[in-house]
Structure 1
């Protein structure tokens, strides 16, 4: 059986933690920052865990992560 392929789009957006959860970076933090409040921009810097409902899907996209 051939090796499974990792979905490269998912690999660039998600990383697997030691406990097996998926870590994500929040959206809307890259440009058009002048109109966003300092508090909002500060909160966008924090990482976030992917929702538990998406974990099975992410495991399929990234079999070796």
Structure 2
């Protein structure tokens, strides 16, 4: 049986943690910062883990991630 392909968009945007959760960048930080509150920008720093239903979708697109 041939290897399954990983979605290129997913491998660029998501990483897996050692415990198997999906790590991604915070949403809403690409442009339009002037209209966002300082609290929003502060809380959107760094990375976050996806919720379980979203993680299940991404894991289906990344068959060989840990």
Pairwise same-fold verdict (TM > 0.5):
yes
In structure 2, runs of 5+ residues without a counterpart are none
Quote the offset at 1:26 in angstroms. Answer: 1.5
Quote the offset at 1:43 in angstroms. Answer: 1.0
Q: 1:37 to 1:56 in 2, by over 3 A?
A: closer
RMSD: 1.4
2:5 maps to 5
1:27 maps to 27
The secondary structure found in structure 2 opposite 1:9 is: helix
Please, what TM-score do these two structures have when normalized by structure 1? 0.83
Quote the offset at 1:56 in angstroms. Answer: 2.8
The secondary structure found in structure 2 opposite 1:45 is: coil
Alignment pair present for 1:58 and 2:58 = yes
CA distance in structure 1 between the partners assigned to 2:11 and 2:21 by the alignment: 14
1:47 maps to 47
